[in-house]
Amino acid sequence: MKFSGIYLGLLGGMSLLVAAIDQGVKRLVVEGYPLGESHSLIPGVLDLSYRQNTGAAFSLFHHAPTAALIAVNILVLGFFLALVYPHLRTRSGSAAAVLVLGGALGNLLDRVRWHYVVDYIDFRVWPVFNIADMCIVAGVGLLVLVMIRAEWKRPPSPGSEHA
């Protein structure tokens, strides 16, 4: 399957926009809030809590070397791109790619620059996260739906029906 350079450039540009939005919000948090301090946005429900996540998702593996975390991030991103590639012709597949790539780039920039990821959204019953994390989760969820839909639309192969 071939894609035009313009189309791939547009998807890449939109991914960079997602990463830029993520980085902009993180900059506001880093410059405007003390590390570890929480500010209630919706009392008892939502806080803004500046945290530095030195680990992977949900702060797992916080003692792992930064280089190892970066390598794993790149490998997982490559795996995701291989999964999404056949679905790039659909708007939903393209949106999934943009969300995951943009979110991954936002967090990867943090990890390369600071050796940790800036987290700040705190629902108090879930680990603290950020916009990049939300984009990654939404993009992966969307890809799952795209793949399920593609499977439903695929005509049955000969001999696959059981009577």
SS3 125: coil
Q: How far apart are CA 135 and CA 115, in angstroms?
A: 21
Closest CA to 108 of 162, 71, 154, 156: 71
For residue 52, list its beta bridge partners: 118
Q: How far is CA 7 from the centre of its chain?
A: 21
Closest CA to 118 of 61, 50, 71, 66: 50
- Span between the terminal Cα atoms of the chain, in Å: 36
**119 assigned to active site:** yes
Catalytic residue among 22, 47, 110, 119: 119
- Taking phi over 0 as left and psi of -120 to 50 as alpha, with beta for the rest, 21 belongs to alpha
**110 assigned to active site:** no
For residue 40, list its beta bridge partners: 47
Active site residues: 119, 133
